[in-house]
């Protein structure tokens, strides 16, 4: 079946601009996660949704970052007033449930470059 998909695959923007990154999880998966991977590092947690609500947003670095999942499926990560330090690969993952034993399946990521 179809895996997690993310669009766009690459996004280049200028400092100060607004960007939206989209994630389409595996059908039927109730939990959705956003991670950020900087060069040479492992992914770092940003936010987690259970259904439509953000159950844990403790990883969002500041209030320029926001994410929604209005219908409990597709999610959008929104970054306002982008900064060069926001450049990274943004990864989305989904799991069937939110149990800590569940496997998270990752999408291919969106590479964000802020000039």
Partner 1 sequence: AQSVAQPEDQVNVAEGNPLTVKCTYSVSGNPYLFWYVQYPNRGLQFLLKYITGDNLVKGSYGFEAEFNKSQTSFHLKKPSALVSDSALYFCAVRDRNTDKLIFGTGTRLQVFP
d(CA 1, CA 63) in angstroms, rounded, equals 36
| Interaction of residue 41 with partner 1, rule CB under 8 A | yes
Q: Is 72 in the site for partner 1 (CB under 8 A)?
A: no
Name the 3-class secondary structure at 18.
coil
Q: Is residue 20 a contact partner of residue 11, using CB atoms and an 8 Å limit? A: no
Whole-number minimum distance, CB 45 to partner 1, in Å?
4
Residues that bind partner 1 (CB under 8 A): 4, 6, 31, 33, 35, 40-45, 48, 55-56, 59, 91, 93, 98, 100-101, 103-109
């Amino acid at each position: 079946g179809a895996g997690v998909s993310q669009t766009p695959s690459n996004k280049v923007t200028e400092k100060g601009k607004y960007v939206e990154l989209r994630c389409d999880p595996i059908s039927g998966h109730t939990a959705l996660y956003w991670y950020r991977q900087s060069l040479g590092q492992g992914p770092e947690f940003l936010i987690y949704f259970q259904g439509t609500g953000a159950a844990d947003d403790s990883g969002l670095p500041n209030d320029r970052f926001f994410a929604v999942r209005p219908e409990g499926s597709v999610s959008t990560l929104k970054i306002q007033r982008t900064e060069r330090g926001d450049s990274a690969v943004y990864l989305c993952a989904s799991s069937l449930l939110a149990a800590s034993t569940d496997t998270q399946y990752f999408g291919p990521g969106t590479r964000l470059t802020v000039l």
